[in-house]
Every structure is written in structure tokens, then in C-alpha cells.
Amino acid sequence: MSNLQPLLALNRMKKIGPRTVLKLQKRWPDLNLMFQLSGTELEQAGMPPLLAQTIKNFDQDFIKADLDWLNSSENHHIVTWDSPYYPALLKEIADPPFILYAKGELSALTQTSLAIVGSRNSSVTGNENARAFSNEISRYGVTIVSGLALGIDAHAHLGCLEAGGKTIAVLGTGIDCIYPRRHLKLAEQITENGLLLSEFPLKSPPIAGHFPLRNRIISGLSLCILVIEAAIKSGSLITARMAVEQNRDVLAIPGSIHNPLARGCHHLLQQGAKLVTSVTDVLDELKIEHHQIASNKPIFSLASGKENLVKFIGFETTAIDQIIVRSGYSMEQVTSGLAELELKGAVMAVPGGYIRCEYER
């Protein structure tokens, strides 16, 4: 008999986590039999009294909402430990979730996966990197995993979707409670060619304690994790630490020494993370052959206008006045040259000036 309903029940009980459920399932491979026992019988079988009473007092009607949700759409799935779609990598972590609510394409769980994470308050450059790396890497059949948060997460998902790839968004809420709300449309786009994933029961709100638990799944699903922009005190560093504990490789993109959002990445690099400066670095880490792929050129290439202004523009915001001073050109020459460079994708206008785009799409 399926363990689905007992597992759904256990998932709704407070203070019962994956390790406890694993012990219970080793004792009762058919968890339905466990629920048929009295509290006294459970205690006689060695179960702590409080746990025995929690199980016996549980109202089975509470799981009706889960079953109704499951049956309401072919796009709705509940993946348990014994499902053929349960990812093998995720089973390897110390506390793998015993229930995964999924909405979308389960095939996303069967591909090689890369986690891309970073700051919610990311810079323009960080967003561009997340989008570009995700876009290019997903073209090699790699599933991009992230957390649907603002900033780097969202751009990682978007880059993958733009390439027609598969992306997984791991939620820190119930699968029917999208957070942040502004990502409702993005979440729907993901379900069309990817997957929303959550271990939390339906209607679970965005509680702070949920997100570290969510992060262990992001890293657990993935062969390695790429960090793009992170402050020194960042949830992304927590995910990276979990990745190390799970024996996953951590990769990081460096940034300016003056950028607070680069300090977390620099810390990871000092701790032994792999330095990433191109998509090729990531593909090598994933052991993916890329020399025969037609698109195996750098995501971007340096461009320059006839005035060669690009060399006077930094990767951090450079004011027009600074460009004029550095180049020695007139205001008219600089504004004309910037317009040409922007059309070529070599620079980008941002508040306060321009930034140099290392890469050209």
C-alpha cells in the first residue's frame, strides 16, 4: 500500500522532520500499519510518548486538502522517497525531504542540475551575469536550480527560460503561496517548462526559518553551486556552506574589491571555491563536453566604437564627466561614442553614468 497519505500526515505534524520519518519508515516500511496502532502500542514499540500521542491525535482530514490539490491538475505532483522521480543526489544529503510538492514538468528533476544563487539586492552587472550564464549553460541540457527570490535568483530563472531550458524554483513556502508576490507571473512561466518545488504543506507562509531549509534542497539537487554576488553576511553563503557539507563543489564569480556584494564571493574563493570567469569554467566543473557546440564562444566579446571609448569605462558605474577626463574627448564626441557603443552592447546606461559590458550577447 502507498505511503503517500501517512507521509502527508507526518509532514503536517510539528517537530517531525526527515530524520525522524526515516527512523519510523525503517521500523514500519508500511507506515499505514503504524497509524493503525494505538498510542500504547506505539510506545510499547519504542516510540517516545510525545511522538506517539502526536501521531495518534492527528486528524486525517487535514490531508484532504493535499489530495484535492494533487488531483486537481495533471501538472500537480507529490514526490516521495520511493518515487522514480526523486532525485538521486537529493537522497545523498543528511536530511532529505520525505515529501516534495511539485508543479510543472517532473522531467526537470532528471537532468544534470546547477544551482545559481546570489544577492536579492543585486547590481545590474550581477543580474546580467546571472541571466547570461543561466541562458548559455541551460543550452547544454543543464537544469538551473534557484530559489525564486528577488535579484540573482529571478534572473537565473529568466535566463534559462529565455533559452528554452528547464529551471527549478525551490520555495520556502507552500507551493500554492508564491513569494514574493511580484513573481507570480515568473512562477507560472516556470511551470510551463520547469518545476516549482516545495517540501512545506499547502498554505505555508514565508516564515524566516523555512528559507535555510529551502536552501539545503537547492544545493542538494545540484551537482555544484554557482554564487553570483553575495554580501559577507548572506543567505547565499549559507547555501554555499550547505553545499560543502553535502560534498558539492562551490563556484564563485569575483567582482570589484570596492563592491560589498562581491565580498561574499571573495570569501568563498579564499575558502577554496572555484574561480569562474566564463561559462567554460562551469561546464568543465559539470564534466560537460562543449567544444563541439556551435555556441561555444564566449557569451560576450569586447566591443569598441570608432572613438575606442570602451577602455575608459569601468565595470562599475563611470560618470560621463569621468569618461571625458580620462579620454580627453569633447562632450559631443563622448555622447556620440557612447550611443554607438550602447547599440553594439559594449556599454550600458545606468543611474549615474555607464558601465562596461565585458560580454556582448
Condensed to tens digits (0 to 9), the pLDDT of residues 244-277 reads 999 999 999 998 888 899 999 999 999 999 999 9
pLDDT in the model for residue 298: 37
Q: Are residues 235 and 281 in the same domain?
A: yes
Average pLDDT of span 269-288: 94
Rounded to the nearest 10 degrees, the angle between the axes of helix 152-162 and helix 124-138 is: 40
What lies within 8 Å, CB to CB, of 86 at 6+ separation is 79, 80, 100, 109
- The per-residue pLDDT for range 120-156, each reduced to its tens digit, is 999 888 998 999 999 999 999 999 999 999 999 999 9
Could you list the residue range(s) of the whole structural domain that residue 320 is in?
309-356
Q: Which of 247, 269, 285 delimits the end of a domain? A: 285
Local structure of 308: helix, strand or coil: coil
Mean pLDDT of all residues belonging to the chain: 89
In a domain, 49, yes or no: yes
Between strands 249-252 and 274-275, the pairing is parallel
Q: Are residues 109 and 249 in the same domain?
A: yes
In a domain, 351, yes or no: yes
359 and 299 Cβ atoms separated by less than 8 Å: yes
Q: Are residues 148 and 271 in the same domain?
A: yes
Q: Give the confidence band of 314 by pLDDT, cuts at 50, 70, 90.
A: confident
Q: Are residues 237 and 343 in the same domain?
A: no
C-alpha cell of 190? 516556470
Q: Are residues 277 and 318 in the same domain?
A: no
Taking 3-state DSSP, the helix, strand and coil percentages for the chain, each rounded to the nearest 5, stand at 45, 15, 40
Choice between 307 and 29, residue whose per-residue pLDDT is larger? 29
- The per-residue pLDDT for range 33-67, each reduced to its tens digit, is 999 999 899 999 889 999 999 998 888 888 999 99
229 and 123 Cβ atoms separated by less than 8 Å: yes
Q: Give the confidence band of 305 by pLDDT, cuts at 50, 70, 90.
A: very low
In a domain, 92, yes or no: no
For the purposes of burial, counting CB atoms within 10 Å of the CB of 309, is it exposed (0-12), middle (13-18) or buried (19 or more)? buried
Q: CATH number for the domain including 314? A: 1.10.10
Choice between 292 and 27, residue whose per-residue pLDDT is larger? 27
Q: Which of 251, 285, 319 delimits the end of a domain? A: 285
Rg (CA), the chain: 24
Partners of 78 in the β-ladder: 101
Cis peptide before 180 (omega within 30 of 0): yes
C-alpha cell of 313? 569605462
Amino acid at 256: S
Taking every pair of Cα atoms in the chain, the longest distance, rounded to a whole number of angstroms, is 88
Q: Are residues 140 and 266 in the same domain?
A: yes
Q: Are residues 281 and 317 in the same domain?
A: no
Average pLDDT of span 220-242: 94
In a domain, 343, yes or no: yes
Q: Are residues 159 and 237 in the same domain?
A: yes
In a domain, 122, yes or no: yes
Q: Are residues 110 and 259 in the same domain?
A: yes
- Domain count of the chain? 3
In a domain, 72, yes or no: no
Q: Give the confidence band of 358 by pLDDT, cuts at 50, 70, 90.
A: low
In a domain, 22, yes or no: yes
Q: Are residues 45 and 175 in the same domain?
A: no
Specify the pTM.
Answer: 0.81
